Amino acid sequence: MTCREFGPALEKFCSDRKDFVDPRQIMQMATYFGIKGPELKKVKQMAAREESSSL
């Protein structure tokens, strides 16, 4: 899969929205699953959006 096709969503990391703690949690999970480079940047942006929308 190329970076262009990669579209991370919170549902891929947390099946229940209540399980989301903070962006750092999602970044650790992404790193554990081997996501890196431009894909990791997209995950970071998605996690930041989720945090700001939950406020």
Q: Are 26 and 43 in contact (CB under 8 A)?
A: yes
Task: Encode pLDDT of 7-50 as tens digits.
Answer: 788 888 888 888 888 999 999 999 999 999 999 999 999 999 98
Give the Cα separation of 25 and 37 in Å (integer).
18
Q: What is the pTM of this model?
A: 0.79
